[in-house]
Chain A
Amino acid sequence: DAKTTQPPSMDCAEGRAANLPCNHSTISGNEYVYWYRQIHSQGPQYIIHGLKNNETNEMASLIITEDRKSSTLILPHATLRDTAVYYCIVRVNAGGTSYGKLTFGQGTILTVHP
């Protein structure tokens, strides 16, 4: 799986958008971009994933650059409960089934303050 680079920490004011960047310059054509987060003392939680198109769900939006070498996770209206470690991971999917292992890096510690 391709390596990712994320800033170690970021701050965001409550109610504002949080934009978390991720570089994955060695991503392969069949690798997806996944985002997970881990709130203190809990297991990681799936947020969103995409291949090359921008994606949106009830939790967040994912913007992937045209060359797919970087992406941004957007939390449109951050709340204090969004304070967590956010992990950007790239991996291969096999068809429509979860496949293989998920390798976590160090992630970005996002702190949302009042």
Chain B
Amino acid sequence: DAGVIQSPRHEVTEMGQEVTLRCKPISGHDYLFWYRQTMMRGLELLIYFNNNVPIDDSGMPEDRFSAKMPNASFSTLKIQPSEPRDSAVYFCASSGPAYGYTFGSGTRLTVV
């Protein structure tokens, strides 16, 4: 298994632009999580899905952030419009019948 796959690995965009981060979870995993990591705030859970349904989005910072999971093998996190304070590493993780989460390698987002 290739693990959790995130794309792109790095994204540099200008303030005000739309940014879309992508995630492919491990096949058979029924939970998917989006986290954000910054030096100041550490790892924060933004939203998670179970069987493609959003369960808890209380960590989504603003309406500028949205996440979708149209099917079991794909999820997106969108920021529109982006702001410099959104600069962070965004991680996707999935989990299934076995204990423990598997994280992707992350997307490093820089908004200038």
The distance from the CB of A85 to the nearest CB of chain B, in whole angstroms, is: 9
Residues of B within 8 A of A93 (CB): 99
**How many residues of chain B get a CB closer than 8 Å to chain A's CBs?**
24
| A49: interface (CB < 8 Å) | yes
Q: Are A101 and B103 in contact (CB under 8 A)?
A: no
**How many residues of chain A get a CB closer than 8 Å to chain B's CBs?**
19
Residues of A within 8 A of B4 (CB): 43
| Assembled-state Cα–Cα distance A93/B97 (Å) | 11
The distance from the CB of A106 to the nearest CB of chain B, in whole angstroms, is: 6
B79-112 contacts to A (CB < 8 Å): 91, 93, 95-106
Q: Are B96 and A98 in contact (CB under 8 A)?
A: yes
| Assembled-state Cα–Cα distance A45/B101 (Å) | 8
Q: A104-B42, A106-B42 are in contact. Are A46 and B100 (CB under 8 A)?
A: yes
Residue-wise interface mask of A (83-114) relative to B, using a CB-CB cutoff of 8 A (1 in contact, 0 not): 00000000001001110011111100000000
Residues of A within 8 A of B101 (CB): 36, 44, 46, 98, 102
Residues of A within 8 A of B60 (CB): none
* Chain A binding surface, main DSSP class: loop
* Chain B binding surface, main DSSP class: strand
Residues of A within 8 A of B91 (CB): 43-44
| Assembled-state Cα–Cα distance A41/B106 (Å) | 8
| Assembled-state Cα–Cα distance A98/B95 (Å) | 6
Q: Are B103 and A45 in contact (CB under 8 A)?
A: yes
Q: A96-B97, A97-B97 are in contact. Are A46 and B102 (CB under 8 A)?
A: yes
Binding site for B on A (CB under 8 A): 34, 36, 41-46, 49, 93, 96-98, 101-106
Binding site for A on B (CB under 8 A): 4, 30-31, 33, 35, 42-43, 45, 48, 56, 91, 93, 95-106
Residue contacts A-B, CB under 8 angstroms, 10 given:
A42-B106, A43-B91, A43-B103, A43-B105, A44-B103, A49-B100, A97-B97, A101-B45, A104-B43, A106-B42
